Structure 1
Amino acid sequence: MSGIRVLVRLARVSSLRPVVVMPCRFKYTQHQGVKGIRNRKSFFEAQMQAGQRADDHDEEETLLSGDLTDVRFLDDRAYDEVAGGAMRITRDIATSQQVLILQPYVKWAAKRQPTLTDVRPDDQLAEASALVHSLPNWQVAKALKVPLESLEKKTLFGSGKLAELKALVTDLRQERHLTCLFVSKGTLSFAQKRFLEAEFRLPVMDRYSVVIQILRLHATSAEARLQVAMAELPYIWAQAKDASVTQTRRQGYALTDLQKEILRTRERKLRAELDRVRRQRQLLRQKRKQQNYPIVAVVGCTNAGKTSLIKALTVEDALQPRNQLFATLDVTAHAGCLPCNLEVIYMDTVGFMSDLPTGLFECFVATLEDAMLADVIIHVQDLSHPCHVAQRNHVEATLRSLAFNMSGGDSTASQLPPIINVYNKCDLIPMKGQKTSKTDHHISARTQMGLDTLLVDVEQQILVATGRKKLKMRVPNGGQEMAWLYKNAAVVETMADEKNPEWLMMQVVITQRTLDQFKRQFC
């Protein structure tokens, strides 16, 4: 009887077992054999292929409706485990963090990176602190500079400096309950990160990891979430490639075959969704081109005041600028009007930041194409920032790199649109001693100082870039010609004809194509 009861109990347990269970951890050892890995891998592929067929079925409806498909596949626990192991990030940012910031810098200027030669270590340290303060419940326990001879050393720090830092970490553990170490370097190699984590016994993050955490926080739309998810993958692959087999087994960081397949499948789906985003934006650009709207792209480093400038130029109350890094992740269009009454569209773009790989921003190319294909680019710079010269050089170099990649490597076709340099926040610093240029504009988006001359310059650049002309035309007062011009051209000014009040003198901004249509219809 006891044997029968055991069998019944086992039957009941098996009947309650769920049909599909996706494990949240995928760890296999060599002695378990390859068969189990293949079985679970084929099961995972079957599930993803079924989801892919469903996505392909809805693709046509998505393009017609203009909405993105469901991106619930981004919330994958198995992927979060891989990403957390490589980048030390988590989706739960509500936990309080006490961060020690270490700003390494090369003591000899000749050995520094070309992009960082004009940046002082104090300014880099202030920027690193601003990154940490951009995350809620994250606080800086202490921030200090660390002089080094090279940034490529496996241990990064020397033995004497390492012992000094370990003593500091011990003190901060007791005083501030230190929870994280932020080494303000673009990317740390696998060997550097694992060595520092073993020495300090704390999670170690670099600038790439912290920026990804900020982007995850501010990515609210489906389009932004896709681009941020795509930006994570190159870092994870680079960390896995940098780790050798012996280090992987000893230090416990490994990508199994199943985890590699998770990353590949995720990358394929992300590329498909981003291609869909690109096609949607191409349709929007074609629609704007048919309506003949000039495009003005506003670019610049993060927190330079791009959104504030667009709000001041368009007087759009719905725009709410925020004093945060990477507050804008979606490229948005905002209608404005030039002094000649010509309607233009201002494109707000994602901000740039120095000491980050260009590949991080290349993942946003689906939206940055709107800036690269604009008629005019306004480059907004924070004049109050101590490193605004280095920021300007970094943005211009990034734009040239993106234009070169978009042209397929053709240097002749990678010509950038005309760029207007705008120095924002000039109300925060004294203007005495500042070098000014006739082609540059010193403005304040907050106080709206200098916007009139900026609009005049934008108007002149738009007229040249789009082939529009300012003309005076004599038409009958109240006639069809007058109504046609109001509909198809930008009317600057109207006045009665001194010789004959039945006629009007209209000053208009018009393209050559529209002017030819007017002549064919009324002349």
Structure 2
Amino acid sequence: MAGLRNFIKLAKWRPTLSLALASQQRSKYTQHQGVKGIRNRKSYFEAQMQQGKRDDDNDEQNGDSRSSGELFDMRFLDDRAYDEVAGGAMRITRNVATSQQVLILQPYVKWSAKRNLPQDVKPEDQLAEATALIRSLPNWQVAKALKVPLENLKRRTLFGSGKIDELKTLIADLRQEMSLTCLFVSKGTLSFAQKRYLEEEFHLPVMDRYSVVIQILRLHATSAEARLQVAMAELPYIWSQAKDASASQIRRQGYALSDLQKEILKTRERKLRAELEQVRRHRQLLRQKRKQQNYPIISVVGYTNAGKTSLIKALTAESDALQPRNQLFATLDVTAHAGQLPCNLQVIYMDTVGFMSDLPTGLFECFVATLEDAMLADIIIHVQDISHPCHNAQRNHVESTLRSLAFNVGGEHQPPIINVFNKCDLVPNADDHAEESTAHHRISARSQIGLDPLLLDIEAQILSVTGRRKIQMRVPSGGPEMAWLYKNAAVIDTQADLENPQRLLMQVVISQRTLEQFKREFC
């Protein structure tokens, strides 16, 4: 186990960015209606790029001895010019510590025939999830949360005139009581026209689910790799807002990207794609190394906050390395953790980013570089929160996402899935919440309930998928054969041979390839 953990530690890596936007002088920002823009000439940006390239060349000639983590140029991700554009499109800032009082509006279609939600998902459940999103951010408080019935979600004003007047009165009261600062409309994405109209009516910044999730991802993106993926996830939203503004012919209202801003976005996107491709190639190398080491891979997936990290902690007994948090999107990096099955076979558990419904697919497409590890594992453990009222809908969403990932990564090939119903201690009759036809394990990762049957199932699946089998071998006691098996196979048990006291009976888990190597070595 120690050797496996050392292998995982040595495999850690931090991506580097070659772009160095070395700008000692900042361009002047001019405020105009809707978004802040940069009105300097494009040649200024090109001069910045040339200066950055010269700095890169100088670093190479001088033999820069900094580590890869230090080479990651944080000025690229913190560029003020880009922040102006991103803040105008998503209404977010990098300073998430700022206190916010948020009014949550959960719109839903009141006519059941027109709803495009799963039948068991209620507006109350959507509102609870929206509230959890806001509470995942430090110093963000929910001033009030309410459902708003609508005939459809596509009208330009989103809400009717009567509901607008009603909300104006509510917002005025909340401003007097607790200094309301923000309005969160819990819809995947709002069009530019909808957002612009609501901000003019309520005189508050308006955020949608995409904006809030990006804010949470920024908070939890601590590694360079995670920050790369979050930075990439921001760009599709900014482009869509700019495109929607142009299509709606609202340029006269002030939302227009200058040529310089467009060039900044294009350059940022090009550099991020190059770095993410480097991340993907590096993860391919890591997978090849794990394959050479012959460690079985177990990917743990599920809806956000279902208990994936808690389960891995329970199965691996990593008390210090893993610290589960009761927050949405607490895990952004795909991390590897050493574990051991009842047959003493060493395995690797892969912790993955959680899924969430009502978000554009483009948001999670930016995490494909790391989610590939899930689809290329030997087996998948699908962790589900059985205590959640929308458990079935969450399961269906994760399964459909996995099918999509399998098609994009492995051509419809999907590893075997073990369904795990977590948090069963919070539900007296958890079987009533599950379909009888679905094979599953009822567990509680926190209370250590139901883990032994789960481990036996994982062991059986791993042995079947990887072609390993349990056999008993007779070897000389204390001989090189015995040492070789301890090194290259999983030894379950050893006992003396009653027929020959100079030999041992070793029960081992071994693959056919390893068995052939043993025969060539000693037979």
Shared fold, TM over 0.5:
yes
CA distance in 2, matches of 1:234, 1:495: 62
Asked whether the 8 Å contact 2:344–2:492 carries over to 1, the reply is yes
In the TM superposition, what whole-angstrom CA distance separates every residue of 1:253-284 from its partner, at most 9, and x where no partner exists? 11100000010111111112112212221221
Tell whether 2:149 aligns with 1:147: yes
CA distance in 1, matches of 2:353, 2:173: 39
DSSP-derived class of the 2:41 partner: helix
Cα distance, 1:172 vs structure 2: 1.1
Q: Summarize the alignment of residues 305-454 of structure 1 with structure 2, pairs less than 5 Å apart.
A: 305-318=307-320, 319-407=322-410, 413-431=411-429, 434=432, 435=434, 439-454=439-454
DSSP-derived class of the 1:146 partner: strand
In the TM superposition, what whole-angstrom CA distance separates every residue of 1:25-59 from its partner, at most 9, and x where no partner exists? 26799xxxx99634334324424544666799999
Q: TM-score, normalised by structure 1?
A: 0.89
Q: 2:43 aligns with which of 35, 39, 42?
A: 39
C-alpha change, 1:35 and 1:128, in structure 2 (3 Å) is: closer
C-alpha change, 1:246 and 1:357, in structure 2 (3 Å) is: closer
DSSP-derived class of the 1:21 partner: coil
CA distance in 1, matches of 2:70, 2:395: 34
In the TM superposition, what whole-angstrom CA distance separates every residue of 1:480-499 from its partner, at most 9, and x where no partner exists? 21111111100111111222
CA distance in 1, matches of 2:499, 2:437: 45
Aligned to 1:22: 26
Q: 2:230 aligns with which of 202, 206, 228?
A: 228
C-alpha change, 1:462 and 1:126, in structure 2 (3 Å) is: same
CA distance in 1, matches of 2:255, 2:294: 55
DSSP-derived class of the 1:229 partner: helix
CA distance in 2, matches of 1:289, 1:310: 21
C-alpha change, 1:101 and 1:519, in structure 2 (3 Å) is: same
Aligned to 1:410: none
Instruction: Work out the percentage of aligned pairs sharing the same amino acid.
Output: 73
197-206 vs 34-43, greater mean Cα deviation: 34-43
Q: Summarize the alignment of residues 91-240 of structure 1 with structure 2, pairs less than 5 Å apart.
A: 91-114=94-117, 116-240=118-242
Asked whether the 8 Å contact 2:386–2:430 carries over to 1, the reply is no
DSSP-derived class of the 1:420 partner: strand
CA distance in 2, matches of 1:240, 1:294: 46
Q: What residue identity is the alignment partner of 2:454?
A: L
Asked whether the 8 Å contact 1:68–1:223 carries over to 2, the reply is no
Aligned to 2:79: 76
* Contiguous gaps of at least 5 residues in structure 1: 1-18, 408-412
Cα distance, 1:223 vs structure 2: 0.9
325-334 vs 398-407, greater mean Cα deviation: 398-407
CA distance in 2, matches of 1:281, 1:59: 27
CA distance in 2, matches of 1:204, 1:432: 39
CA distance in 2, matches of 1:101, 1:430: 32
CA distance in 2, matches of 1:296, 1:442: 19
CA distance in 2, matches of 1:221, 1:148: 41
Asked whether the 8 Å contact 1:293–1:345 carries over to 2, the reply is yes
Aligned to 2:456: 456
In the TM superposition, what whole-angstrom CA distance separates every residue of 1:380-411 from its partner, at most 9, and x where no partner exists? 0111111011111111111111222224xxxx
DSSP-derived class of the 1:233 partner: helix
C-alpha change, 1:310 and 1:277, in structure 2 (3 Å) is: same
C-alpha change, 1:332 and 1:146, in structure 2 (3 Å) is: same
In the TM superposition, what whole-angstrom CA distance separates every residue of 1:302-353 from its partner, at most 9, and x where no partner exists? 1111111001000011211111111111111110000000000001111111
Q: What residue identity is the alignment partner of 2:127?
A: L
CA distance in 2, matches of 1:457, 1:28: 61
Asked whether the 8 Å contact 2:334–2:352 carries over to 1, the reply is yes
In the TM superposition, what whole-angstrom CA distance separates every residue of 1:79-123 from its partner, at most 9, and x where no partner exists? 000000000000112221111000000112232225x44311000
- Provide the alpha-carbon RMSD of the alignment: 2.5
CA distance in 1, matches of 2:69, 2:145: 44
Q: What residue identity is the alignment partner of 1:74?
A: L
77-86 vs 278-287, greater mean Cα deviation: 278-287
Asked whether the 8 Å contact 1:119–1:390 carries over to 2, the reply is yes
CA distance in 1, matches of 2:496, 2:223: 52
DSSP-derived class of the 1:171 partner: helix
Cα distance, 1:287 vs structure 2: 1.2
Asked whether the 8 Å contact 2:134–2:212 carries over to 1, the reply is yes
DSSP-derived class of the 1:243 partner: helix
Asked whether the 8 Å contact 1:26–1:259 carries over to 2, the reply is no
Q: What residue identity is the alignment partner of 1:127?
A: E
Aligned to 2:301: 299
Aligned to 1:85: 88
C-alpha change, 1:55 and 1:118, in structure 2 (3 Å) is: farther
In the TM superposition, what whole-angstrom CA distance separates every residue of 1:182-206 from its partner, at most 9, and x where no partner exists? 0000000111111111111100000
DSSP-derived class of the 2:495 partner: strand
Q: What residue identity is the alignment partner of 1:324?
A: Q
Cα distance, 1:244 vs structure 2: 2.0
DSSP-derived class of the 1:463 partner: helix
Aligned to 2:520: 520
Q: What residue identity is the alignment partner of 2:129?
A: E
Tell whether 2:260 aligns with 1:258: yes
Asked whether the 8 Å contact 2:193–2:248 carries over to 1, the reply is no
CA distance in 1, matches of 2:297, 2:248: 54
CA distance in 2, matches of 1:520, 1:41: 65
Q: TM-score, normalised by structure 2?
A: 0.89
In the TM superposition, what whole-angstrom CA distance separates every residue of 1:9-40 from its partner, at most 9, and x where no partner exists? xxxxxxxxxx95221526799xxxx9963433
Asked whether the 8 Å contact 1:421–1:439 carries over to 2, the reply is yes
Cα distance, 1:126 vs structure 2: 0.5
In the TM superposition, what whole-angstrom CA distance separates every residue of 1:122-174 from its partner, at most 9, and x where no partner exists? 00000100111111111111100011111111111111111111111111111
Cα distance, 1:414 vs structure 2: 2.2
CA distance in 2, matches of 1:233, 1:26: 22
CA distance in 2, matches of 1:92, 1:143: 24
CA distance in 2, matches of 1:302, 1:458: 22
CA distance in 1, matches of 2:430, 2:264: 58
C-alpha change, 1:238 and 1:61, in structure 2 (3 Å) is: farther
In the TM superposition, what whole-angstrom CA distance separates every residue of 1:403-423 from its partner, at most 9, and x where no partner exists? 22224xxxxx22111110000
